[in-house]
Copies of this chain bind each other. A is one copy, B any other.
Amino acid sequence: MTWTIYLSGEIHTDWRDRIREGVAAAGLPVNLTGPVTHHEASDDCGVAILGAEPDKFWHDHKGAQVNAIRTRTLIGKADIVVVRFGEKYKQWNAAFDAGYAAALGKPLIVMHQAEHAHALKEVDAAALAVARTPEQVVELLRYVVNGELAGYTDGQTIAE
């Protein structure tokens, strides 16, 4: 079985790449999905394709709805949803995705720094794991998907 993992949230650091490299190195049968992470394309996709809007609200609205075609579909197909909150910005879309995934019953992994723990307590309370680093997410996937845990199962042949 191939697992589908949706990577939601912060788009300014290389966390998705680090997870991608980690699961590749571990040889995990996972398919990583996520939103369009090109910031300007994500903001302008609605008006670029469907026509300009003089009012910024509708400019944003058209883009956000086009993005929703992708994000809601992929979250709906995911086996696990990982949501990362970065250091900056409001990131309400990340929290929205976490709530959306929770209501669909998707196992949720949340990733953030300690300083946001109190503000994110409701989100964390809906998660099955709270991680700090992409490497921890890779280890979680390695354990969940392949049953491998460093220091415990090393050197064993893990049958699927």
Question: Which A residues lie at the B interface, using CB under 8 A?
Answer: 1, 3-4, 31, 33, 36-38, 40-41, 44-46, 48-50, 53, 55-58, 60-73, 77, 79-80, 85, 89-105, 107, 109, 116-126, 128-131, 136, 139-140, 143-145, 147, 149-153, 156, 160
Contacts and interface: CB of A to CB of B under 8 A. Distances in A.
Contacts of A89: 119
A100 B96 CA distance: 7
A24 B125 CA distance: 30
Contacts of A70: 143-145, 147
Number of copies: 8
Contacts of A151: 48
B50 A125 contact: no
11 contacts: A3-B73, A45-B143, A49-B131, A58-B58, A61-B121, A63-B121, A67-B125, A68-B122, A69-B80, A101-B103, A105-B105
B50 A128 contact: no
Given A36-B149, A41-B149, A65-B125, 7 more contacts: A40-B152, A48-B152, A50-B129, A57-B117, A90-B116, A90-B119, A95-B96
A38 B96 contact: no
A107 B72 contact: yes
B143 A122 contact: no
